[in-house]
Amino acid sequence: MQSFYTIGVVGHVDHGKTSLVRALTGIDTDRLKEEKERGLSIESGIAPLILSSHLEVSFVDVPGHRDYLKNTIRGLSQVDAFVLVVAANEGIMPQTLEHIQILEIFGVRNGILVITKVDLVDHELVELAELELREAIPESFNLFPQVIKFSAQSGEGKKEFWDAISWLNSQISPKSSEAPFRMWIDQLRVFLGYGTVASGTVQRGSLKEDDLIELLPVKLRIRARSVESHHRKIMKAYPGQRIGVNLTKVNQEEIERGMELVTPDSIKCVPYMNLCIKNFSSDLTLKDKQKVRAYIGTSTYPMQLILLEKKVLSPGEEGYAQLRATESIGILPGDKVLITPLNIPKVVGGGTILEVTQRKARHKLEEPTTKTLHSLNNKNYEEFLSILSSDNPLLDTSQIKDRYFILEERLSAWVARQLEQKAFVKISENQFIRSDIIEFLKSNIVDIINSTLSENPIQISVKKAELIDKLCNNSQYKDLLQKTQVLDLILSELVSNGALEVEDGGYVTTSISVTLPNELAQLSQIIIDFSQKSHINPFSADTIWKSYGRKIDKNQIKKVLNYLRAKRVLVRINDGRFLNSASLEEIKKRIATVIKQKEFFDIHDCKDAFGYGRTVAVPILEYLDRIGFTIRTEYGRKLKNERN
């Protein structure tokens, strides 16, 4: 598969960035009329360079003038590496340093240092510019060992530059093409008869013609009518590739630069993000509740900065904070954020999003919030997950990945260890519950069933819905019980180990012994006696009620009938009437005798066998079919299993 990546070309205004790109690619990235008239870049310009059949890079030539800082930030937010340009005749300038800050905030650390215009000064000034340049670079940056000395006029340094590009390619880690698609929009064009074309750099995943994608944050679903890269139609776009996507059914008013195109439902929009923020300014402070401008991807939003540990971040200091947008935006843990004052084009701070959330961080939440953020920021994932699991009975790994900046392989390894140590129990593909919670719920379930049946002896069993209601009185486990399969898992285990039995669509404990109150015990005996006297004649609650002169509460009769059915003293046949269990066995014997004599039992045999006709007999016969004693054929009923 072909590899693609982008290289940001940065440096102070008029230091030769555009000339360098033109010398390397033959492309003039200053395409606007105003840019040509003023001799400086206003928008970021793109210049592709095919290095081999397997490698293509795109140079992003960003503006060097402070007035166009917004465009510089947008251009650098998507690059994989950088070329830092310093003119030999001027050396380090203010925008040089600011561009270095932007690269550091966005985590772009692989790069090449180039000193341009070496033909304009003597050797000593070139050496001084190199020394000054090396001192300005953070130690965390990974640089090509040689500083390239370049002249656009003579072509000096071009060969060395190609060596540096080859080295740079070996330093860049490939992005996942298997992940869901994501692309921030940095250019928008509308073509008559063709429609809207959104351009950007593929951050992850892939895109093909006619793929369904979602426009965030407006959550508009659209299709990619076609996909192009540098004016060439392509079958499939890959991470790192510069593409233009022709979008279907989207109006110019519905889309703007700074939005993003993603695989549908792959990114949730949230208004708040928690991060560790560093003040990169030399003279500006960051204050709690300050209004700032935040840059994420190619988007920019006014936000409120909430400092979680202190009231002020002085130059060079860092601390945990929450950024609050006025609307929900499509962001992910791990996204980089750059901050400027609301109305001043100057980089003041930035950091990596550690958590995306719908919840405001308030004073009472600040301590646990900063504790988890501290663990994430220091990549102490063991500590982070221990904190998370101690506060939450359920861990949903898909939700953790969506919300927190944690490496998936580290999360999977931690979960595997917890399962091996039996600290957690797996209840679904992505959901795990602490073992101590499982044991607590098991004990509670048995206690609830025992107490419920003891308080109401005539109740046959406790249904699942009733269990949930009573367990949910502890609000801590309400979501756990209502939104997961944990209760089914626990009930199944309790049944399999003999602690519970399934009865009448509910559950009873095998250890409980319920004694009916005297009044109900007497009624129970009355009904048992009545059922024995009725012999093979079915009866109902109404039958008993009338037989005893309507003096017994009919509802109590019904409850005791169901109680006795659950205890298998009685059986309920298909029309809701009852028979004594011994009487049903007698009916079965009589049917078996008839079938043995004539092979079938039909409706005309009822009178001789039972003493009553089809009206009474049919519900009994249908019940016997249902329980698998008999089977109905066109000639009559046969024993389903001759062993019966």
Tokens representing residue 423 in the block: 């600290």
Amino acid at 15: H
533: Cβ contacts below 8 Å, ≥ 6 apart: none
Whether 18 is catalytic: yes
Whether 604 is catalytic: no
- In angstroms, how far apart are the furthest CA atoms of the chain? 127
Residue whose C-alpha is closest to residue 568's, from 584, 554, 555: 584
3 state SS of 311: coil
- Measured distance CA(181)–CA(208) in Å, rounded: 10
Tokens representing residue 333 in the block: 């843990």
Give the CA angle between residues 275, 279, 284 to the nearest 5°: 135
- Of the residues 6, 18, 116, 452, only one is catalytic, namely 18
596: Cβ contacts below 8 Å, ≥ 6 apart: none
Q: How is residue 180 annotated by DSSP?
A: P
* Residue 494: φ, ψ to 5°: -65, -35
Query: Is 100:137 a contact under the CB 8 Å cutoff?
Result: yes
Beta-bridge mates of residue 59:
7, 47
Query: Is 71:63 a contact under the CB 8 Å cutoff?
Result: yes
Tokens representing residue 388 in the block: 């998370």
Whether 123 is catalytic: no
- Measured distance CA(127)–CA(113) in Å, rounded: 13
| Strands 500-503 and 506-509, bridge-based pairing | antiparallel
- Measured distance CA(315)–CA(347) in Å, rounded: 12
* Residue 487: φ, ψ to 5°: -65, -40
428: Cβ contacts below 8 Å, ≥ 6 apart: 484, 485
* Residue 599: φ, ψ to 5°: 75, -25
Tokens representing residue 169 in the block: 């390619």
Burial track 233-258 (b if 16+ CB lie within 10 A, e otherwise): ebeebbbbbbbbbbbeebeeeebebb
Tokens representing residue 48 in the block: 């592709």
H or E segment and range at residue 197: strand 195-204
SS3 content of the chain, % helix, strand, coil (to 5): 40, 30, 35
- Of the residues 17, 149, 175, 559, only one is catalytic, namely 17
Residue 217: is the preceding peptide bond cis (ω within 30°)?
yes
408: Cβ contacts below 8 Å, ≥ 6 apart: 401
Tokens representing residue 20 in the block: 């360098």
Whether 479 is catalytic: no
Q: Could you list the active site residues?
A: 14, 17-18, 65
